[in-house]
Amino acid sequence: MRDVRLQIDFASPAPAYRQIVEALRTYLVEGAIVPGDVLPSVRRLAAELGIHFNTVAQAYRELAEEGWLDVSHGKAVKVVERNAPRQPDEDAVERFRTRLRRLIAEARAQGIARHTLSSELNALAEGIK
């Protein structure tokens, strides 16, 4: 794996496996991890993060189901070329919209200006490959 860092926030209400999935998915979408890269073994990453290996295995399985990873017993975990779905279903779009609205509301409640949010969203969208 390239120079990416994973950390678990044990104070977070998000489960550790979810934190791993979201961090790795972000690295994958942004191109910090690319097809052909080999990720740490389940046991090695679990030891590095100080969590149970089943937690890492669950995260890797979820990313494999999304088409990002090739996870085969006894083999290295590899990043694969992913064919993104052509059209997301309407439920997926609505779930995304709901999550985004909550994040924006949270940011606004903390005093982040609309123009700052807009600039950040545009910069992030431009950075996605």
Banded pLDDT at 129 (limits 50, 70, 90): low
pLDDT over 90 at 92, yes or no = no
Residue 17, burial from CB neighbour count under 10 angstroms (0-12, 13-18, 19+):
buried
Domain boundaries, the chain: 16-79, 90-127
* Mean pLDDT score, 77-100: 88
Give 45-84 pLDDT, tens digit per residue. 999 999 999 999 999 999 999 999 999 888 899 999 998 7
- Map tokens 């996870």 to a residue: 71
- Topology of 16-79 in CATH? Arc Repressor Mutant, subunit A (1.10.10)
pLDDT over 60 at 89, yes or no = yes
